A and B are shown apart, each in its own frame.
Chain A
Amino acid sequence: MMAWVIAAPLLSAILTIAFRNREARRFARVVLAAIAAALPLSLVGTIDGLSGTFTAIVSVLGFLATVFSTGTFTPDWGVGRAIWSRKSVYFVLLGAFWSAMLLVVLADNFAALWLGISATTLATAFLVGFSGEAAALEAAWKYLVLCSVGIGFALLGIVALAHVAIAAGIDPRLTLSWTAIAGHTTPAAPSLAQLATVLMLVGFATKAGLFPMHAWLPDAHSKAPAPISALLSGVLVSCALYAIMRTLEVGAALGVSPLLHQILVWLGAASVIVAGALMLVQRDLKRMLAYSTVEHAGIVALALGFGGSLGFLAALLHVVGHAFAKSAAFFAAGMVQRDFSTTTLGKLRGLWQRGGSGRLLLAALVALSGMPPFGLFVSELLLVFAGIAAHQWVPLGLGLTGIALAFAAIARNAIEIESGTAKAQGIESSPALEIPRTVEQRIAARLASVASGAIAVALIGALGIAVVPWTSLGTSLLRIAATLESAP
C-alpha cells in the first residue's frame, strides 16, 4: 500500500494525459489529485506522528498546487522551446515532485529518504527552468549544482552512518533505519558517528536553504512558476527540515547531540539575521518571499538547536504554519503576476482594491510576519521560551533581531503594495504565465487560484487557533518555569 500512496501523484499525472478533451482532462487532473492526496489516510496507524504530520503537509499542499496550476494555466501554454516547458510535462514533473516528497516523509530509513530528496532535484530542476528564460535556467543550474553537492555530502554521511551502525552490531538489513539505530545507545565509533551526522546535517541544511548554503534558494524559488515556488518553499524545505529532525533523532541515540544542536543553533541564527537583512533590500515580491523562506528555515533550525521538547514543539509548529503561509503567499504572488505581469515591488500598487489576489497576499504576509492569530505567532513565541530555557542568549538575540528585520521588510512592502491606486507599469508578457482568454476561462482560473490560496490561508489561521495543542503549550510553559527555577 505504501508504494501506491507514494506513486499515486505521479501515476495520476500520467493518467490524465490519456484524456483528449481539455475540460475532461482538467476535471480528471483535480479529481485524481484529490484521490492521491486522500490516499495517505490509509496509512494512519502505520506511520509515526512526525511522518504523519509531514505527510499531511505534502498531500494537502500537493493537491492545492495542482488545483492552482490547473486554474492558472490556459490551453495555449508552452511557449518555451525546451520539452519541459510543455503543459503535460509540467504536470508529470509536478506529480513526480509530489511523489518524491512523499517518499521522503514516508521512508523508514535514511537511504530511501535520501533517494526521495535526490528525486526532488530531478523533477524540480526542470520546473525551476520551466519558462526557458536565461534567468530561470541560471536558477535551475545553481539549484542543481549546489543541491547536488549538498545532498552528495549527506549521502557521504549516510554511508559513514551505515559503517557506524554495522560496527554497533545492528542487523545489516536495518543499518540505516532510525528506529533501529535509536535502539542502540552505545556507538562503536563515536568520532565517525559525529562526522557522519554532521555531514548529513550540513547536506540536508543545504536543501533546507540554511545560510551559508542558501545561495540557490532565492533564485530557484523566485524564478519557478508560482505553484512550484509554493511547493519548493512550503513543502520541499519542510521535507529537508524533516530530514534534519531524523538526523537529530539518530544523533541523540549515538550520543552526538550537543554538537549537532550547537551547529543548528548557529546555522539558524545566521540564517535568520542574514535573510532578515536581505529581505529589506529586495525589490521583487517573489524574491522577498524566497528570502523569507531562508529566514523561517533558520527559525526552525534555531528551535531545533535549542532542543528539548519545547524547542521541538516550536520547530514542528513553525514548519506546519510556514508551509501553509508561504504556499498561500506564493499562490497570491502568482495571481498578482498574472494580473499585473510583474512582481517588481516598485510597480505594484493598490492590490487591496483588486480583491482576491491582493487580500489573499495580505493575509499570507500577515501570517508570515508572525502576527496573531496565525500559527507562526505561537511557534515564534515558543521559540523564545525554548531559547530562554536553553540559556542560549546570543543566538536567541540574533534570531529575534532577524525576525524583527523580516517583520519590517514585510510590513513596509505590504503597506506599499496594498495601498494606493492599482497600477501596472512596464508590463511585459511573461512566457511562463498566460492570461486566460475567454470569460469562462478567466472565471474558472480565478476561482481555482483564489480557492487554493484561500484554503491555505484558512488552514494557517485554523492552525493558530484550533490545531495548536493549547494543553501542550500550557504544559510546556510550566516546564519552562520549572527549568528556569532549577537553573543555576
Chain B
Amino acid sequence: MEVVVLVAGAILLVNGRTFQVLIAYVVLSAVVGALGITAALASPATFALFAVATVLKVVLAPLGIVLFVRANPAAADLRPSIPAPGRLLIVIAFALLAKVVTRLPAVATVPMADLVAFVVLCGVGMLIIHRNLLAHMVGLLVLGIGIGFAASMLAPGLPEPIELGTAFDALVATVIGLALVRAIVVHDPLLDVESLRRLRG
C-alpha cells in the first residue's frame, strides 16, 4: 500500500498531463479510502457520509474534469512551473519529510502518520508546482483525502460531523472549482494561473 501511495503521489507531482494525473488521483483516493474504511463502518450515518464523499471524490470530480478537458483540450496541460528533475526531488523531499513527521512526539503514536503526511504534502505540492487551475482543483481534493485519512487514523469512530466535513470539503472543491473554471476558461483557454495575476499589491 505504501508503495502505491508513493507512486501515485509521485505521478501527481511529476506528471504534467491531466488524464494521467487523474488516474493517479483515483488510485490514491481508492487506496486511502480502503485504508480508512474500518473507521467509516462505525455507524450507518458515518458510512453513508463516507460513501457520499467517496463518490464525490473518486467518481464525480474526476469525471467532471475529464468532461471539461474533452470540451477544452487546450487546458489538458497542467503546466508545471518546475522542471521534471526538480519535481522528482520534491517528491523525494516530501517522502523523507513524511518519515521525519513520525518522529515528532505529537504524532508518534498515530498509525500510518507518514502516509497521512505524504498525502497532505502531495495536495499542497500540487497547488504549488502546477500552474493549471485544474491541478489546483485536484490538489484541493488530494488535501481533502489526506485530511479524511488523518481523521480515520487519529480518531476512528469520530462523530459524523467530521465525515460530513470531509464530504463537504470535496463538494466545495468539486462544485465551485468546476463552475469557476468553466467561467475562467472563457478568458484564458490554457487556465494558466499566470494569467490570473491582474490583482497585485
Instruction: Show the binding face of A for B, using Cβ within 8 Å.
Output: 81-82, 84, 109, 111-112, 114-115, 118-119, 121-122, 125-126, 129, 132, 134-135, 137-142, 144-145, 148-149, 152, 155-156, 158-160, 162-163, 166, 172-173, 175-176, 189, 191-192, 194-195, 218-219, 222-223, 278, 281-282
Which B residues from 155 to 201 make CB contacts under 8 A with A? 155, 157-159, 161-162, 164-166, 168-169, 171-173, 175-177, 179-180, 183-184, 186-187, 196-199, 201
Number of A-B contacts (CB under 8 A): 138
A112, A134, A148, A282: the one within 8 Å of B172 (CB)? A148
B106, B120, B197, B201: the one within 8 Å of A189 (CB)? B106
**Interface SS, A side:** helix
Additional A-B contact list (9), CB under 8 Å, known A115-B164, A135-B199, A145-B127: A125-B176, A134-B184, A137-B183, A141-B196, A149-B124, A155-B169, A159-B147, A162-B162, A192-B106
Q: Cβ of B147 and Cβ of A152 under 8 Å apart?
A: yes
Q: Cβ of B150 and Cβ of A125 under 8 Å apart?
A: no
Q: Cβ of B169 and Cβ of A163 under 8 Å apart?
A: no
A222 to B158 Cα, complex, angstroms: 39
B155, B176, B179: the one within 8 Å of A175 (CB)? B155
Q: Which of B58-66, B78-86, B92-100, B136-144 contacts A (4 or more CB under 8 A)?
A: B136-144
The answer to whether A134 and B158 touch (CB under 8 A), given A115-B165, A148-B172, A195-B106, is no
CB of A42, distance to nearest CB on chain B (Å)? 24
Q: Please, could you name 18 A-B residue pairs with CB atoms under 8 Å apart, sorted by A?
A: A81-B186, A82-B179, A125-B176, A137-B180, A137-B184, A141-B196, A144-B176, A144-B180, A149-B140, A155-B147, A156-B150, A160-B154, A162-B159, A166-B155, A175-B155, A189-B106, A219-B199, A278-B201
A141, A149, A191: the one within 8 Å of B180 (CB)? A141
With a cutoff of 8 Å between Cβ atoms, the chain A residues found around residue B176 in the complex are 121-122, 125-126, 144
- Is B112 in contact with chain A by the CB < 8 A criterion? no
B158, B184, B187, B197: the one within 8 Å of A162 (CB)? B158
The answer to whether A111 and B164 touch (CB under 8 A), given A152-B143, A156-B150, is yes
With a cutoff of 8 Å between Cβ atoms, the chain A residues found around residue B1 in the complex are none
A192 to B155 Cα, complex, angstroms: 13
- Is B44 in contact with chain A by the CB < 8 A criterion? no
With a cutoff of 8 Å between Cβ atoms, the chain B residues found around residue A219 in the complex are 199
Q: Cβ of B199 and Cβ of A139 under 8 Å apart?
A: yes
CB of B134, distance to nearest CB on chain A (Å)? 12
Q: Cβ of A111 and Cβ of B143 under 8 Å apart?
A: no
**What is the number of residues of chain B that contact chain A, defined by CB distance less than 8 Å?**
48
With a cutoff of 8 Å between Cβ atoms, the chain B residues found around residue A144 in the complex are 172, 176-177, 180
With a cutoff of 8 Å between Cβ atoms, the chain A residues found around residue B169 in the complex are 118, 148, 152, 155
Q: Cβ of B196 and Cβ of A138 under 8 Å apart?
A: yes
Q: Cβ of B162 and Cβ of A159 under 8 Å apart?
A: yes
CB of A17, distance to nearest CB on chain B (Å)? 20
A152, A159, A194, A278: the one within 8 Å of B158 (CB)? A159
A109, A172, A189: the one within 8 Å of B157 (CB)? A172
CB of A346, distance to nearest CB on chain B (Å)? 15
With a cutoff of 8 Å between Cβ atoms, the chain A residues found around residue B161 in the complex are 109, 111-112, 114-115, 176
Q: Cβ of B147 and Cβ of A195 under 8 Å apart?
A: no
The answer to whether A192 and B107 touch (CB under 8 A), given A118-B165, A152-B169, A156-B147, is yes
A82 to B154 Cα, complex, angstroms: 41
Q: Cβ of B133 and Cβ of A111 under 8 Å apart?
A: no
A112, A152, A159, A218: the one within 8 Å of B155 (CB)? A159
Which B residues from 93 to 149 make CB contacts under 8 A with A? 104-107, 109-110, 120, 123-124, 127, 133, 136, 140, 143-144, 146-147
With a cutoff of 8 Å between Cβ atoms, the chain B residues found around residue A218 in the complex are 199
- Is B52 in contact with chain A by the CB < 8 A criterion? no
A111 to B161 Cα, complex, angstroms: 6
Q: Which chain B residue lies CB-closest to A193?
A: B106
CB of B194, distance to nearest CB on chain A (Å)? 11
With a cutoff of 8 Å between Cβ atoms, the chain A residues found around residue B199 in the complex are 135, 138-139, 142, 218-219, 222-223
